[in-house]
Amino acid sequence: MLQITFLLLLVIVFIAGFIFLLFRTIFLVITVEGASMLPLLQHGDRLLVLRHFGIRQLRKGEVVIIKPPAEIQKGFASGEPAQVYYVKRLVALAGETVTDTLPVSLQAKMPVTREAEGQVEPRLKSWQVPAKHIFVCGDNRQNSLDSRTWGPLPQRSIVGIMLRKLAPSRNATYAKVSTRLEAVPSANFLPPGTPAPAFSAATVNGEICELATYAGKPLVLFFIASERLSRLFIPNYATLARQIAGQSNPAILFACGVELAQAQALVEEFQIEVPVLVTPRATHSLFHDYKIIGTPCYCLIDAQGRLKRDGFLSSGSPQPNRRLSPI
């Protein structure tokens, strides 16, 4: 009887192990970082992904998980996870032509043309997708590193296809996720020690605020929008600022990447008592100048006006951007 029970237990363990290995072979569970797929996917969303083995035919419009090009991977600093993935939408297949708006970082290198006085022509470019290649873009075009920068990618770059979003995990922590998404190489960020870009912007009260105002003291600059994760951390911003700066009374400033009415609504909702800059991505250069790829996040500027540390804010706690400044 004991022998039968033991054999039955071994069979159950074997079957459970087989199912687990089969699941790991066929599926991935990954956590999104960044904002390139807003509004569909938000920073912190967990995804169930079907691994792509090249058997299933690809369809335009699918959300895919890809490996970045080899030259991009070389830009990652030492200490990064062995593999970094991106989540994007498949917008074109082999043989198709894509015309889209260039990313802001490339627009600055293009000559400005005008259709008529005072009207700037959209900076568009066309790409021809070669055989066995794909073209991918983030839904949030203003905040996405994708094929508009890289060009078409080989189909073998696809790791998997998103099946669905999963419920949030109470035990998930970004620091422990090895297949992180939206990790951008250090070449696309301001490195530590870089002089913080000067800025001048109006607050929600109409006052003009400049970086020079904070000369001689550490400044924690929070970048936010009106999305869910920004709202999660705002109530604890003072405590987080002290934690980030490592001192009891740092200067605090918000940069809000939305229009005035939305920024005012956030101030009223959370009773924010520090200055809140109105810096919409479409009309103000602050987010671009600081190479911000997603919200909520932070930058710590030291008393000498140099970038010391930055990273995402996740579930109310700062997560360091290890490509820039390990904590």
**Residues in Cβ contact with 271 at an 8 Å cutoff, skipping those fewer than 6 apart:** none
**Catalytic choice (67, 78, 88, 226):** 88
Of 131, 180, 129, 122, give the one whose Cα is nearest residue 150.
Answer: 129
Q: How far apart are CA 177 and CA 242, in angstroms?
A: 26
For strands 119-120 and 46-51, give the pairing.
Answer: unpaired
User: Is 109 designated active site?
Assistant: no
**Catalytic choice (36, 157, 230, 325):** 36
Of 123, 152, 125, 122, give the one whose Cα is nearest residue 137.
Answer: 152
Q: Which residues of 255-276 are buried (b: 16+ CB within 10 A; e: fewer)?
A: bbbbeeebbbebbeeeebeebb
**Residues in Cβ contact with 75 at an 8 Å cutoff, skipping those fewer than 6 apart:** 185, 186, 187, 188
Per the CB < 8 A criterion, the answer to whether 239 and 254 are in contact is no
User: Is 325 designated active site?
Assistant: no
As annotated, the active-site residues are 36, 88
